[in-house]
Amino acid sequence: MEEVLVKQIFRDPETYLGRAVQVSGWVRTIRVSKSFGFIELNDGSFFHNIQIVFDDTLPNFQEIAKLPIATALRIEGQLVESPGAKQPWEIKAERITIEGRSEPDYPLQKKRHSLEFLRTIAHLRPRSNTFSAVFRVRSLAAYAIHRFFQERNFVYVHTPIITGSDCEGAGQMFRVTTLDFADIPRDEEGRVDFRQDFFGRETHLTVSGQLEAETFCMAFRNVYTFGPTFRAENSNTPRHAAEFWMVEPEIAFADLNDNMALAEEMLKYIINYCLEQAPEEMAFFNRFIDPDLLARLDNVVNSDFGVITYTEAIELLKKADQDFKYPVAWGADLQTEHERYLTEKIFKKPVFVIDYPKEIKAFYMRLNDDGRTVAAMDLLVPGVGEIIGGSQREERLPLLEARMKECGLDFADYWWYLELRKYGGTKHAGFGLGFERAIMYLTGMANIRDVLPFPRTVKSAEF
RNA sequence: UCCUCGAUAGCUCAACGGUAGAGCACCCGGCUGUUAACCGGGCGGUUGUUGGUUCGAAUCCAACUCGAGGAGCCA
């Protein structure tokens, strides 16, 4: 008999209606009366379950009726129209085979669980409705990103996970070493002798692939990275994880405006792709996670993102009829409350804040003609905050070196990065998209721990 | 790292100084079209840990552990 995926049945019912089919999957719930019962079966291919009707003409009716949730079954039967109101079709079972038993103490129940509890059973939570939807959308969004860039002739670069430069500048890093902690080698001055370590130097997990991506940008014109990123910051918030995924495009012969246009087009592409490919999951989020989700995404897709300079933003915030805990002043970084006010109260949609004071931004960002701001951009979105950070890069060698000197950086650590400016350096730009933050925005999930399959956060790496 | 809140049955919660309870789950029984099925019965606890106050502590106090929210850092 033909094995059919539940997704095939839902997407193409005419082909299967009235025919003999075989499905296999896991029991989500069983409801039984004296001589018949219903099984809701999820086969993993589709968000929704298929209803199985079985009765006591089956030789193992009594056994099936008492099966616990999560039991794996194979069902042979006929796909028929369902008299019930909640499902268009069902399978009238002619044979039910138990593929894998479960136990009555299966922790996932037929009721709503808290997300906090589900985090403690990360190995089982993908079987719940919410996480089934989250991780299918995550998969689709990842594919959408590759499709978006590949369709535009971008080259996918695998920048290294282990980095030899501890000066990538984006915060605390995880150390990578094979040295024996019980017997650490020392140099002549008593410091740890990393010459004896695996790579012969200090190494860490990457905090960004940008500097390496820039090298490929100067060869392939338009490139992107998409991979894991690690930050050892002691951050305890719903928006930070120690291991997360980042998308970092880098485009040559391009300025900040090109950069913003790319970011906006990319986000809209991802949203559209997920809405098209996972309508059931998106409808679920809208119903149970965030009732404004679909309206908000629709608004994002059909409107232009806002753009405001840092200087304009400061003026707006100064005039705001709202008391901020932190003072608003030119030269100070925007606080979370300021960003929320801008994107949630004023714009009510994604907004780029551009042209920040150079003092509060990274050394590689291109100096504007005013001499005191750089061509940086942060994309702020309601509810999630900063989702993208990027800039036009400083391609003028003397200006880059001057800026590095101001920041106290050693040219020797960046010799290959500086040579990009020496040999045919051109204007270029790029940004980093926090993949999980994009998924949060896309699904309405409020905690980054609930969009990562096995989240790594401070004091937490059990699974 | 700082601030705030929380931890009671497998889960979600109640009890707020005087004998620890409910719903759901689970187990048993009933039910011929269910929809987080329904109806009846049953099982289920060293109240996060350690110490203190008190005749008496789930309840008050302290420390610790873990969790959540806010802040900082950022994506």
Supply A117's token pair: 């509890």
Residue A231 has pLDDT above 60, yes or no: yes
Report which of residues 38-97 in chain A place their beta carbon less than 7 angstroms from any atom of strand B: 38, 40, 51, 53, 66, 68-69, 82-87, 90, 92
pLDDT at position A238:
94
Strand B nucleotides, any atom under 7 Å from protein beta carbons: they are 1-3, 10-13, 24-28, 30-37, 65-75
Asked if strand B contacts A433 at the CB level, meaning under 7 A, the answer is yes
| Distance in angstroms (rounded) separating the CA atoms of residues A306 and A104 | 53
pLDDT in tens, A248-267: 999 999 999 999 999 999 99
Reply yes or no on whether the pLDDT at A104 is more than 80: yes
What pLDDT is stored for residue A55 in this prediction?
Answer: 94
Q: Give, in degrees to the nearest 5, the angle at Cα A376 between A373 and A380.
A: 125
Contact A394, A348 (CB under 8 A): no
The whole model's pTM is what? 0.95
Q: What is the predicted ipTM?
A: 0.93
Q: How far is the CA of A122 from the C1' of B52 (A)?
A: 38
C-alpha A361/C-alpha A169 separation (Å) is 11
Return chain A residues 99..118 having CB < 7 Å to nucleic acid strand B.
104-105, 107, 109-114, 116-117
Mean residue pLDDT of chain A comes to 94
The two three-digit tokens of residue A387, written as one number? 């989702």
Structure tokens at A237: 């918030």
CA–C1' gap, A328 and B5, in angstroms: 29
| pLDDT band, very low/low/confident/very high, at A334 (cuts 50, 70, 90) | very high
Comparing A164 with A210, the larger pLDDT belongs to A210
In terms of Cβ atoms closer than 10 Å to its own Cβ (0-12, 13-18, 19+), residue A230 is: buried
DSSP A59-116: TTHHHHHTPPTT-EEEEEEEEEE-SSSS-SEEEEEEEEEEEE---TT-S--SS---HH
The residue type found at A55 is: D
A236 touches strand B (CB under 7 A): yes
Q: What does the block give as tokens for A232?
A: 């050892």
CA atoms of A385 and A382, how far apart (whole Å): 6
Q: What percent of chain A has pLDDT over 90?
A: 88
* pLDDT at site A169: 61
Nucleic acid strand B within 7 Å of A388 CB: yes
**pLDDT tens digits, one per residue of A161-198:** 999 876 556 678 999 999 998 999 999 999 999 999 99
Q: What is the pLDDT of residue A435?
A: 97
Element (H, E) at A211: helix A210-220
Instruction: Band the pLDDT of A85: cuts 50, 70, 90.
Output: confident
How much is the pLDDT for A326? 87
Q: How confident is the model at residue A7 (pLDDT cuts 50, 70, 90)?
A: very high
Whole-number Å distance between alpha carbons of A93 and A86: 19
CB A24 within 8 A of CB A66: no
10 Å CB burial of residue A194 (0-12, 13-18, 19+) is middle
Å: A30 CA to B37 C1': 10
Q: Is residue A76's pLDDT more than 70?
A: yes
Give Cβ neighbours of residue A51 (< 8 Å, ≥ 6 apart).
A38, A39, A40, A41, A82, A84, A87, A89, A90, A91
Determine the distance between A126 (CA) and B67 (C1') in angstroms.
Answer: 21
Q: Tell me whether residue A459 is exposed, middle or buried, using C-beta atoms within 10 angstroms of its C-beta: 0 to 12, 13 to 18, 19 or more.
A: exposed
A102-106, long-range: CB < 8 A, 24+ apart = A102/A27, A102/A67, A102/A68, A102/A69, A102/A70, A102/A71, A102/A72, A103/A68, A104/A68, A106/A68, A106/A69, A106/A70
Give pLDDT tens digits for A353-368: 999 999 999 999 999 9
Q: Is the pLDDT of residue A228 over 90?
A: yes
Strands A72-81, A89-100: pairing kind: antiparallel
The reply to whether the CB atom of residue A231 sits less than 7 A from any atom in nucleic acid chain B is yes
pLDDT tens across A42-64, in order?
999 999 999 999 999 999 999 99
* Mean pLDDT of all residues in A127-155: 97
Mean pLDDT score, A364-387: 93
* Nucleotide B61 C1' to residue A459 CA (A): 28
pLDDT at A167: 57
- Reported as a pLDDT band with limits 50, 70 and 90, residue A94 is very high
Q: What burial class does residue A89 get, using C-beta atoms within 10 Å of its C-beta: 0-12 exposed, 13-18 middle, 19+ buried? A: middle
